[in-house]
């Protein structure tokens, strides 16, 4: 008599994968690993320390010629405990592997800077804790925004260049007493350069709170004497239209609306097949006096606000003593490109 009533088809699932063996974080391991870490590996470590988490697809777009080459190298870095990884739950299909900085990688960064690990401000439980954070999708979305621009910089058929990319944490360090942007960036193309603060909207925040940030950006501009555009990325055109009405009212309430140049876009623009590319003609400036009827490319936004001062090192704050890593990976050597 059959005592197990479980249907046979329910027993045909894949066996759970075996855990990948990993090295112990000993001083001997650190010493042996020194000769294996390339400049590109160290660059990736600093990028993860700065921006918290990248998916395997983002890392491939940032610094490797193919996804397969990136995955092979990421596996080695994971085994060596330079990076740690997790895979979020999704209801359909499977999510890409997400990577964060692990203890060995943070130790290398601390030693390069002449610091102890605790002085670097790194804790592994906090780094891997983003796997359970409600802000994971937001952080990955912000990083996707800049990853696409960085990937365009690497292409031979483009003349655009991502020249700066600050994380939310770095923006908080510099401007957090007034406003907390999700990121700061600069893009150079056709001999023009545009800088911006990014507000990446996932649709979970009331629009009244989004509009309230306008007065804070006006205060920042008045305090620093630097007018910096604010770009708002919305999840849908419907929310974008609603947000533009709220933002227009917030701008009209300012004594000097020109202190806060605003432009919006949405992730689901049907007119643009490259829906995740911030550089294409997708930005709609918001001007209470004369709003344009067509969307502009990222490089064209400077022409929409002719009152903006030219970008210099002095008015962007990029002369800090501890600058963030360059947004584009160093060119690999012939030997490194095969790894």
CA distance 215 to 198: 16
Domain end residue (candidates: 100, 133, 166): 133
Tokens representing 253?
């309430």
Q: Which domain holds residue 247?
A: 137-304
One domain for residues 128 and 143: no
Tokens representing 13?
């699932």
Classified as helix, coil or strand, 35 is coil
Domain end residue (candidates: 133, 167, 194): 133
Q: Is residue 197 part of a domain?
A: yes
Q: Is residue 237 part of a domain?
A: yes
Q: What is the CATH number of the domain that holds 60?
A: 1.10.10.10
One domain for residues 62 and 156: no
pTM of the predicted model, to two decimals? 0.87
Q: In the beta sheet, which residues pair with residue 230?
A: 197, 262
CA angle 155, 157, 158 (to 5 degrees): 75
One domain for residues 296 and 157: yes
Print pLDDT tens along the chain (339 aa). 445 555 544 444 444 455 666 666 678 888 888 899 999 999 999 999 999 999 999 999 999 999 999 999 999 999 999 999 999 998 888 899 999 999 999 999 999 999 999 999 999 999 999 999 999 999 999 999 999 999 998 886 777 899 999 999 999 999 999 999 999 999 998 888 999 999 999 999 999 999 999 999 999 999 999 999 999 999 999 999 999 999 999 999 999 999 999 999 999 886 655 678 999 999 999 975 555 578 999 999 988 898 888 776 545 544 334 567 878 888 776 566 555
Q: Is residue 2 part of a domain?
A: no
CA distance 48 to 54: 7
One domain for residues 148 and 252: yes
One domain for residues 199 and 91: no
In 10-112, which ranges are continuous DSSP H helix?
27-33, 39-51, 56-63, 67-79, 103-112
Number of domains composing the chain: 2
Q: Is residue 286 part of a domain?
A: yes
CB neighbour class for 184 (10 Å; exposed up to 12, middle 13-18, buried from 19):
buried
One domain for residues 119 and 151: no
One domain for residues 197 and 216: yes
Q: Is residue 14 part of a domain?
A: no
Distance of CA 48 to the CA centre of its chain: 10
Q: Is residue 333 part of a domain?
A: no
One domain for residues 111 and 184: no
One domain for residues 127 and 164: no
One domain for residues 143 and 264: yes
Closest CA to 158 of 149, 166, 167: 149
Q: Is residue 218 part of a domain?
A: yes
One domain for residues 182 and 154: yes
One domain for residues 292 and 196: yes
Domain end residue (candidates: 133, 159, 182): 133
Q: Is residue 141 part of a domain?
A: yes
């Amino acid at each position: 008599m059959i005592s197990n009533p479980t249907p046979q088809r329910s027993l045909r699932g894949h066996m759970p994968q075996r855990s990948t063996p990993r090295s112990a974080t000993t001083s001997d391991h650190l010493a042996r690993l020194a000769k294996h870490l390339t400049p590109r590996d160290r660059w990736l470590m600093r990028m993860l320390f700065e921006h918290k988490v990248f998916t395997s697809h983002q890392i491939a777009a940032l610094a490797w010629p193919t996804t397969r080459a990136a995955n092979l190298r990421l596996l080695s870095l994971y085994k060596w405990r330079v990076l740690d990884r997790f895979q979020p739950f999704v209801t359909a299909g499977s999510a890409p592997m997400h990577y964060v900085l692990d203890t060995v990688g943070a130790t290398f960064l601390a030693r390069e800077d002449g610091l102890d690990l605790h002085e670097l401000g790194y804790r592994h439980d906090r780094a891997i804790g983003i796997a359970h954070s409600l802000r994971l999708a937001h952080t990955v979305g912000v990083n996707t925004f800049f990853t696409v621009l960085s990937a365009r910089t690497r292409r031979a058929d483009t003349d655009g260049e991502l020249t700066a990319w600050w994380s939310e944490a770095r923006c908080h360090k510099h401007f957090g007493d007034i406003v907390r942007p999700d990121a700061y960036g600069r893009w150079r193309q056709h001999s023009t350069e545009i800088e911006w603060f990014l507000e990446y909207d996932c649709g979970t925040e009331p629009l009244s709170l989004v509009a309230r940030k306008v007065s804070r950006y006006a205060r920042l501009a008045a305090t620093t004497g630097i007018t910096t555009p604010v770009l708002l990325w919305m999840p849908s055109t419907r929310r974008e239209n609603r947000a533009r009405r709220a933002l227009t009212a917030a701008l009209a309430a300012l004594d000097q609306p020109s202190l806060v140049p605003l432009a919006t876009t949405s992730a689901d623009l049907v007119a643009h097949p490259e829906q995740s590319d911030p550089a294409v003609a997708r930005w709609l400036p918001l001007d209470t006096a004369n709003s344009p009827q067509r969307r502009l490319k990222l490089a064209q936004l400077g022409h929409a606000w002719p009152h903006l001062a030219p970008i210099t090192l002095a008015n962007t704050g990029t002369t800090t003593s501890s600058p963030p890593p360059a947004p584009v990976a160093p060119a690999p050597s012939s030997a490194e490109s095969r790894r």
